[in-house]
Structure 1
Amino acid sequence: MGWNSWNKFECKINETIIREIADALVRTGMKDAGYEYITVDDCWQIGRDSLGNILADPERFPSGMKSLVDYVHSKGLKFGIYSDAGTQTCQGRPGSRGYEFQDARTYAKWGVDLLKYDWCNHGKQNAEASYTIMRDAVYKAGRPMVLSICEWGTNKPWEWGASIGHTWRTTEDIINCFDCKNNWGGLGVLQIIDLQVEIGGYSGPGHWNDPDMLEIGNGVLTANEERSHISMWSMFSAPLIAGNDIRNMSAQTNEILTNKEVLAIDQDSLGISATRWMKYGDLEIWFKPLNDHNFVFCFLNRSNQPVTINQDLKTIIKNYKVDGSYNVRDVWKHKDNGTTEVNIKGTIAGHDVLMLKLTRKYYSRR
């Protein structure tokens, strides 16, 4: 869990913004809710010195990257940085190809805690081999770092990423919309959700599918869509990386990003990604087991019109080879909603979710 500069600021970043974001992460309660990494994405680097060492842009980061990392650490937070497996980053800055061990040593010296490693300008490189080189470089540098593989799902990193990195992007970049895609491959929230259906089994503790960063608070998604966005990412046990300007976000955005009942589902120690259990036209029912034999159901309304539900949850649980009675709680309303002895009834607004946590009253394994 954390924050990344790209979705809101793209290349318009500097050390003042990052320091203020660190302050805001603490002030707004996001740190207390579990957001701990602050990652500077592309455009922080400007070149290399005569020895090949990577250089931060002195106009944007005049105090130097080590000073910025120290400031973030002083807030009880962790620092992430961006590079690319190719010769250049996506924005034409120096990539790490041929400099992997040198760059990893530099990041370790600065105190970096996470490396987001992109896949632009890679030519005919082999993805698995390229990411393995950087993994080995990080090991050699001697400082533990999260390695965030960002090759957009092109080479099915879920099949090989667990032995190399900690997270791997499963899709092209997210764009700030709920149901859309564009001509360069960017995808909306629903389009990304669809690409997670068949790959949930590859994700688990220490090796996570990453459906990309959050667009919550960036001014396009409605409140319903933002709830659906973070709810489904939490159902997937995905990294939750905010991408808004948290220095001046609304109370509504803050509430959505820091809903502790939802975040606890994302961070559940069992780490199982949800299964799409049923699909009735525009209504989908997703199902996720939690630790202590508890469960979550997320009803996702893909339509922009409300839908009415009358669902027996107990039967679905029996199909998971569990019998028993469970208390039902609406984690967005923070309200108990009966038990599994009776059907769940109600209306779900357009592009919204009904997210229910089931906590056992009693159960037995068949």
Structure 2
Amino acid sequence: MTCHPIVRLGLASILALLCTPAAAQKFEQLAHTPQMGWNSWNSFGCNVDEKMIRQMADAMVASGMKAAGYEYLNIDDCWHGTRDADGNIQADPKTFPSGMKALVDYVHARGLKLGIYSDAGNTTCAGRPGSRGHEYQDALTYARWGIDYVKYDWCDTKGIDPASAYTTMRDAIRATGRPMLFSICEWGDNKPWEWAADLGHSWRTTGDIFPCWRCEHSHGSWSSLGVLPILDKQAGLRKYAGPGRWNDMDMMEVGNGMSEEEDRSHFSLWAMLASPLIAGNDLRSMSDATRRILTHPGMIAINQDRLGIQAMKWLDEGDVEVYIKPLDRGGYAVLFLNRDDVPRDYTLDWAFNGMKDDISGRAIDFNKQRFAWRDVWNGGSGSTGTVYTATLPAHGVVVLRLSPQ
């Protein structure tokens, strides 16, 4: 039987909708590289309204973010009003008086895409209406509005099987016929990397982020994590990532209170590990330093490399770690991370440190193959034919891009 997009059908037809197995898939044409965009939660929480979102769309264009590759403008929790008599979800009329369709049109007119948020439970994390029992109805509503991205959270889900819940919403989105990127926000509690590749385009690997270097910020029954704790939880996950299926290290905190050096490291690590690059700062008032970090063309190119291979930890020397990421056309990106609170001098003799990567199937013997390197952040160049030395700033990184000679 042919599967008809439910955007063309009335609600009475939804329960009778039958699709071929091929139709019950995520939209494969999306997220071939990690998605790039902005989300409201880190800076605004529940203080969201249509005026702010319109201003953020304008700022994304004016700041150069759009030109740098950011395309999704995502409204997180608290946009919801109540459901109408037929169960259709409505935008809050006090904060979104023009309605969501008008906001989508405004964002689309600027060459951007609009994302929205819901939850697999009866209520969202902030207590607004969730999508449980309304999955097909909500997906149809989003499609009629013109939504491009759905972030699907995991609050109020006691007794629900996560794979089944996310499958249901995946199928609901697919049935609308409108391509929508599906971002699974299950916090890594049930190892979504093992079952979500056919369901979503990305999945969260940890709980929420917090703007600090190595802290854990307790909220009572759960904690949010700083940059290093989130980084450390990525061990063993890189084999699950690839085009259309990304390990999501959460929305970024660049520009939200850490030092410029920490922001640069944070952004570089997310880029190297092929995480979605979703900014979380106020784009309207960000500093030039924050803008330069978020729009850095060299780091964005590493994140968006078409091979889609996540970096691996290559060398671990305590407070200094070295990550390497295979790139297209035989290249590599190498990141030197100083976790310490003081600067560290570091020397790497390439000839004594071969590299073998089972995920990409690549190996390097630097005695037999030489690479030219370029310092992505600081400028400068050299060759792997000579020993590399650098002073790594406290909480800082140096990133080299290697090209075969």
- Normalised-by-shorter TM-score class: over 0.9
TM-score, normalised to structure 1, is 0.97
Q: Does 1:198 align with 2:236?
A: yes
CA distance in structure 1 between the aligned counterparts of 2:177 and 2:62, rounded to whole angstroms: 33
**Residue 330 of structure 1: aligned partner:** 375
**Secondary structure, aligned partner of 1:161:** coil
Superposed CA deviations along residues 69-127 of structure 1, whole A, max 9, x for unmatched, are 11000000011000000000000000000000000000000000000000000111000
The CA deviation at 1:142 is: 1.2
Equivalent position of 1:30 in the other structure: 65
Check conservation: 2:348, 2:389, Cα contact below 8 A. yes
Q: 1:148 to 1:103 in 2, by over 3 A?
A: same
Amino acid at match of 1:326: F
Q: Which residue of structure 1 aligns with residue 395 of structure 2? A: 351
Q: Percent identity?
A: 52
Residues 10-60 of structure 1 show CA distances to partners (whole Å, capped at 9, x for unaligned) of 000100000000000000000000000000000000210000000110010
Cross-structure match for 1:277: 314
- CA distance in structure 2 between the aligned counterparts of 1:150 and 1:42, rounded to whole angstroms: 12
- 2:183 is aligned with 1:148: yes
Between the aligned partners of 2:66 and 2:132, the Cα distance in structure 1 is 34
What is the CA-CA distance between 1:321 and the residue it aligns to?
2.5
1:364 aligned partner: none
Count of equivalent residues: 359
Q: CA deviation at 1:317?
A: 4.7
Trace 1:103-122 onto structure 2 (pairs within 5 A): 103-122=138-157
Q: Secondary structure at the match of 2:122?
A: coil
Alignment of 1:244-263 (within 5 A): 244-263=281-300
Give the letter aligned to residue 275 of structure 2: A
Q: Does 1:188 align with 2:226?
A: yes
Indicate the residue corresponding to 1:321 in structure 2.
363
CA-based RMSD of the aligned residues comes to 1.0
Q: Secondary structure at the match of 1:247?
A: coil
Q: What is the CA-CA distance between 1:182 and the residue it aligns to?
A: 2.1
Partners of 1:305 and 1:337 lie apart in 2 by: 25
Q: Give SS of 2:370's match.
A: strand
Do the aligned partners of 2:314 and 2:355 also contact (CA within 8 Å) in 1? no
- AA at the equivalent of 2:370: S
1:161 aligned onto 2:196:
yes
The within-5 A match list for 1:297-312 is 297-312=334-349
Query: Could you give the per-residue CA deviations for residues 135-167 of structure 1, whole angstroms, max 9, x where no partner exists?
Result: 000011110000000000000000011010000
Q: What is aligned with 1:85?
A: 120
Q: Match of 1:214?
A: 252
Residue 344 of structure 1: how far off its partner (Å): 1.1
**Counterpart Cα distance in 2 of 1:312 and 1:297:** 14
Rounded Cα–Cα distance in structure 2 between residues aligned with 1:149 and 1:314: 42
| Deviant stretches of 4+, over 6 Å | none
Question: 1:269-300: CA deviations, max 9, x gaps?
Answer: 00000111111111111111001000011011
Match of 2:404 among 345, 360, 364: 360
1:128 is the counterpart of 2:163: yes
Q: Which residue of 2 aligns with 1:69?
A: 104
The amino acid across from 1:344 in the alignment is Y
* Partner secondary structure for residue 125 of structure 1: coil
Q: Which runs of 5+ in 2 are unaligned?
A: 1-35, 357-361
Is the 2:42–2:280 contact (alpha carbons within 8 Å) kept by the matching residues of 1? yes
One-letter code aligned to 2:286: M
Amino acid at match of 2:273: F
Q: Which has the higher contact order (CA 8 A, sep 6+)?
A: 2
